[in-house]
Amino acid sequence: MTTTNDYGFDTSEGRVFTVSGQDWDQLTDQLGEAADERIVVNMGPQHPSTHGVLRLILELEGETVTEARAGIGYLHTGIEKNMEYRSWVQGVTFCTRMDYLAPLHNEATYSLGVERLLGIEDDVPEKAQVMRVLLMELNRISSHLVAIATGGMEIGALTVMTIGFRERELVLDLFELITGLRMNHAFIRPGGVAQDLPPGALEEIRGFVELMKKRLPEYADLCNANPIFRARLENVGVLDLEGCVALGLTGPVLRSTGYPWDLRKTQPYCGYEDYEFDVQTWDTADAYGRFRIRLGEMWESLRIVEQAADRLAKLEGAPIMVADKKIAWPSQLAIGSDGMGNSLDHIRHIMGESMEALIHHFKLVTEGFRVPAGQAYVPIEGPRGELGAHIVSDGGTRPYRVHFRDPSFTNLQATSVMSEGGMVADVIVAIASIDPVMGGVDR
């Protein structure tokens, strides 16, 4: 390696230049004839422009992207491998942390797979299924709010960012009220959900729905017909139906081509077939269409949340966990006054029932239940597309293997197709329209 000047040095792949800022003119003077050559730029890994720890390797000719590649693996958590060393219920506390913007969807697909292996799909109480739908649709709203907010921030629409996070806080407040946590809930579990709705929850949910109906039009006023916003999104990140199918893309990216593929309608789960809602599509196959789809889906999620709240009002006191005590854990859970652990009343109940009940509870908590040998895959419609858990059991108290089909990982394949031939600035818009969450990519 021979240093040629203050800015560049020769390598086997050509000259590499380091620009620290304020010195671009000096660099171009040094380049001479090389100014016409293509250069390679690393975009990321950093947070604001790449939705997490994603590295984009861009080959540029001027400001035009001639080649784009995505580099992943900077956030690898080992969640799937760690789940092999935990009980089936403890697995929920791991997978909820994957796509951290859709924790309840992660929990749901995993729990549905375990329930299929256990053969208890039809035994899960109605109230538990309705609560799952309610929480997943609230989660879809909060996830889409982040997608629109961060996407707006990246192109300079800071008002969209501030109001997006303002509304998301309201959803997280509901999560905290219902599950005790704002994220990483571990609330949806094999057999049902962890605990019943607290007093006053339905009133809070209905109040949120009414408020969102007033605030969602703000996004339409700011963005839908805004010529600056539309100019940055229209005809950017274009990928037609044939390309989506070839790459296995799902979610808003697929539906922006006009194809109404939504697993809540095409392969219903958790009783989605009993709810009235419309699948949102667009016909432009670009970043603007994906934005409009997410905005429309938030309206549809509000419709579903309203229906779920009405059903829950009629299920007061109904069970929220399967009746089989060899699976149901925690059963009859009551949170302590400090918001953590079991209440004293619940502990007294277990301790005072019988010695056999206490021993059984101890084994269920420490060892866990056994799941018959086999494998299952139950996909659901996450905010970013098809999310599924492929679960394998060898008949023990722990998963033999768990592998998640996360839509962020699959959809990132479109990075190069959407970016090549466009401008550097449009790469940001294309990535934002995919809405990848790296916690789901690097599992």
**pLDDT at residue 127 in the model:** 92
**pLDDT at residue 1 in the model:** 41
**pLDDT at residue 67 in the model:** 86
CA distance 279 to 264: 9
385 beta partners: 382
**pLDDT at residue 423 in the model:** 86
Q: Which residue has the tokens 């989506």?
A: 244
Q: How many residues does the chain have?
A: 443
Helices (H), 287-326: 287-313
Give CATH 1.10.645.10 domain extents, the chain: 79-329+368-441
CA distance 125 to 189: 12
**pLDDT at residue 321 in the model:** 86
Digitized pLDDT (tens) for each residue of the chain, 443 residues in all? 444 444 455 555 566 666 665 565 666 666 655 555 778 888 877 665 566 788 888 888 888 888 888 888 888 888 999 999 998 988 999 989 988 899 999 999 999 999 999 998 888 999 999 999 999 999 999 999 998 888 878 887 788 888 888 899 999 999 998 888 888 888 899 988 888 888 889 999 999 999 999 888 888 887 777 888 888 888 888 888 988 899 999 989 999 998 999 999 999 999 899 999 999 999 888 888 898 899 899 999 999 999 999 999 988 888 888 888 778 776 555 555 555 556 666 677 767 767 777 777 778 788 888 899 999 999 999 999 999 999 999 998 899 999 999 999 999 988 888 888 888 888 888 888 888 888 888 88
- Which residues are within 8 A (CB) of 165 and not within 5 positions of it... i.e. 6 or more apart? 145, 146, 149
DSSP calls for 232-268: HHTTSS---HHHHHHHT--THHHHTTT----HHHHS-
CATH of 79-329+368-441, one of 1.20.1060.10, 1.10.645.10, 3.30.70.20, 3.30.43.10: 1.10.645.10
Q: Which tokens in the block code for residue 440?
A: 């789901």
CA distance 435 to 443: 17
CA distance 201 to 215: 21
For residues 76 and 442, the answer to whether their CB atoms sit within 8 Å is: yes
**pLDDT at residue 20 in the model:** 60
**pLDDT at residue 55 in the model:** 85
CA distance 55 to 47: 10
CA distance 313 to 206: 11
**pLDDT at residue 208 in the model:** 92
| 43 three-class SS | strand
Q: Which of 370, 341, 380, 335 is nearest to 129 (CA)?
A: 380
**pLDDT at residue 155 in the model:** 80
Q: Which of 173, 175, 148 is nearest to 162 (CA)?
A: 148
